[in-house]
């Protein structure tokens, strides 16, 4: 039997930007019918390599080969025409367009002088949504979807192109475990049909589950070049990625039962549809808020922060009933902070500098007489947190839009650490960040809690939730269905959490009485 030939190769790829050599002679070989992991820390060059392969960037040096023939992509559309598809880490959807319009954008662009048959467009989108078990009307504007559902629409869009090579940059970052399993079923089906898939993820358990080959980048160069996953363990991957063994901190018991309540919700309803929500977070406590996509977790966080209206019930801060009319009041009057899951739209001002973004929450605090604000004061306040999170940037004056997605996430975290709020909501904290930074971030959150900060963590990453939280509150369909006292034992706690979710799904629609489970 003849040896299988590569469908795509990158040979000696280099890419230089002003002041930065992002790729240094990188090689990667993709085989048909394979799911190929592309790993590395933030700033290692993964996203740059993907952009070179998909025609966003021209390489400074090196060669791309498709079916053994040298090729060059002049644009992303050129790459798509030659069978190279991609799901980028940052969503590339048009919010005002419908789901169907976004899925079929390439087809619409190709026939821009023809009238659009919206009925056919919607029908054509349904199979790709159904393939992901995504129950969405194709005519729905993308702006009305949650971040996780936007991510699934982005994946459906890529699947609709039926690419021979499909690159997925952090495709599961905003997905729950059940949604991830559905996606993996689709990816395996594509693999078995001969598609070559590139899978970028910081979740190494996912990489080990689904990938059969791996390339690792470190500091813009190959630490591992296109080899089989056979015989490679998690510790081997970590060693190649960061040059040393992993050192993540394990869960530890923290007793905050005697501490005063910082935030309390009593029978709260919101304009978004929450009903009868009761939630308490004490000083120094880390409370996890877990639920499937659409459960209402992020929406509740935004109501707490004053973005959406609390229509009934009582919100208390430090034991006093308060009304929070807007986000500015939440931050400056009540010491509440919010690290958004959507850094691109809500967490950062992409056209401003690293320094400006990291300093936004403390501008008012640092301003001198007559409102004067000096960069040096901001610099001194935020630099320790940027350094601790190892933000990779040529300078603090660098425009945030020019940094990798992972470094953008680090900045969105650093700005709230610098603000020193008394209550911090952390929504999907480790989306797009590497394992070393994730370990740093978890330890920083523990240090903040130990120093007295009350923290509410929203995460779709079950291992992360169990690694961090003292208590885990479960939400389904905009209601609290129960809570679990964390013991740090993954099998027991994950089973208890999913039990609460399944109990809620089997319920006829009535509010489920609060249950407390100690495991």
Task: State which H helix or E strand residue 495 sits in.
Answer: helix 490-506
| Helices vs. strands in the chain: H and E counts, helices first | 18, 21
pTM for the complete prediction?
0.61
Please state the separation of Cα 130 from the chain's center in Å: 23
Provide the pairing of β-strand 479-485 with 516-518: parallel
**104: Cα separation from own chain's centroid:** 25
Pair type for strands 213-218 and 221-228: antiparallel
**The pLDDT of residue 514:** 37
Residue 254 · residue 286 · CB < 8 Å = yes
Per-residue pLDDT tens listing for the chain (519 residues): 446 899 999 999 999 987 778 899 999 999 999 999 999 887 788 989 999 999 999 999 999 999 999 999 999 989 998 999 998 876 778 889 999 999 988 777 655 567 788 899 999 999 989 888 788 999 999 999 887 788 888 888 888 888 899 999 888 877 777 788 888 988 998 899 899 999 998 888 899 999 999 999 998 999 999 999 999 988 899 889 877 555 545 678 888 989 999 999 999 999 999 999 999 999 999 999 998 777 899 999 999 999 999 999 999 999 999 999 999 899 889 999 998 877 666 778 888 888 888 887 777 777 766 566 777 888 888 888 888 878 888 888 888 888 876 788 788 888 888 887 899 999 988 776 777 777 777 888 888 899 899 999 998 888 888 889 999 999 988 999 999 999 988 888 988 988 888 665 555 343 333 334 333
Q: Directed axis angle between helix 375-388 and helix 405-419, to 10°?
A: 120
Q: How far apart are CA 499 and CA 513, in angstroms?
A: 14
Q: What pLDDT, on the 0 to 100 scale, is given for residue 109?
A: 61
Sheet containing strand 336-339, strands side by side = 336-339, 423-427, 454-458, 286-290, 471-476, 479-485, 516-518
- What is the rounded distance in angstroms from the CA atom of residue 86 to the CA atom of residue 108? 18
For the chain, domains (ranges, CATH) are 8-242 (3.40.50.300), 261-335+423-518 (3.40.50.300), 351-420 (no CATH)
The number of angstroms, rounded, from the C-alpha of 223 to the middle of its chain's C-alpha atoms is 25
- C-alpha count within 13 angstroms, C-beta hemisphere, residue 310: 25
């Amino acid at each position: 039997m003849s040896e299988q030939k590569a469908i795509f190769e990158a040979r000696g790829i280099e890419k230089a930007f002003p002041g930065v050599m992002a790729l240094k002679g990188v090689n990667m070989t993709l085989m048909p019918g394979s799911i190929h992991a592309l790993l590395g820390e933030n700033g290692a060059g993964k996203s740059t390599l993907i952009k070179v392969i998909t025609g966003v960037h021209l390489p400074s040096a090196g060669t791309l080969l498709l079916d053994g023939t040298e090729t060059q992509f002049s644009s992303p559309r050129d790459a798509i025409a030659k069978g190279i598809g991609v799901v980028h880490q940052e969503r590339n959807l048009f919010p005002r367009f419908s789901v169907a319009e976004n899925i079929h954008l390439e087809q619409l662009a190709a026939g821009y002088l023809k009238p659009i048959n919206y009925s056919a467009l919607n029908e054509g989108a349904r199979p790709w949504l159904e393939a992901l078990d995504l129950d969405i009307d194709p005519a729905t504007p993308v702006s009305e979807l949650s971040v996780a559902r936007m991510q699934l629409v982005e994946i459906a869009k890529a699947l609709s192109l039926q690419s021979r090579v499909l690159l997925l940059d952090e495709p599961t970052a905003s997905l729950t475990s059940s949604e991830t399993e559905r996606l993996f079923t689709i990816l395996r089906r594509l693999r078995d049909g001969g598609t070559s898939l590139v899978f970028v993820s910081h979740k190494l358990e996912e990489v080990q589950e689904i990938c059969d080959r791996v390339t690792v980048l470190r500091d813009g160069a190959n630490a591992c070049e296109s080899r089989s996953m056979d015989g490679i363990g998690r510790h081997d991957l970590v060693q190649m990625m960061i040059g040393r063994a992993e050192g993540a901190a394990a869960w530890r018991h923290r007793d905050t039962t005697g501490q005063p309540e910082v935030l309390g919700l009593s029978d709260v309803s919101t304009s978004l549809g929450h009903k009868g929500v009761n939630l308490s977070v004490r000083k120094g406590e880390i409370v996890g808020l877990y639920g499937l996509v659409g459960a209402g977790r992020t929406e509740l966080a935004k109501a707490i922060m004053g973005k959406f209206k609390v229509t009934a019930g009582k919100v208390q801060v430090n034991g006093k009933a308060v009304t929070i009319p807007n986000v500015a009041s939440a931050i400056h009057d009540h010491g509440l902070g919010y690290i958004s899951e959507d850094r691109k739209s809500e967490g950062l001002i992409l056209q401003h500098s690293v320094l400006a973004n990291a300093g936004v929450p403390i501008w008012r605090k640092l301003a001198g007489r007559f409102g004067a604000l000096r960069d040096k004061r901001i610099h001194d306040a935020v630099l320790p947190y940027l350094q601790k999170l190892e933000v990779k940037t040529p300078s603090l004056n660098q425009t945030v839009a020019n940094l990798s997605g992972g470094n953008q996430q680090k900045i969105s975290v650093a700005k709230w650490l610098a603000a020193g709020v008394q209550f911090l909501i952390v929504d999907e904290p480790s989306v797009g960040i590497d394992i070393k930074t994730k370990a740093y971030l978890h330890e920083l959150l523990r240090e903040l809690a130990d120093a007295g900060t009350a923290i509410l963590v929203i995460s779709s990453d079950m291992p992360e939730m169990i690694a961090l939280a003292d208590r885990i509150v479960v939400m389904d369909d905009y209601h609290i269905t129960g809570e679990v006292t964390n013991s740090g034992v993954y099998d027991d706690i994950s089973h208890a959490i999913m039990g609460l979710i399944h109990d809620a799904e089997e319920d006829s629609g009535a509010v489920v009485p609060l249950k407390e489970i100690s495991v």
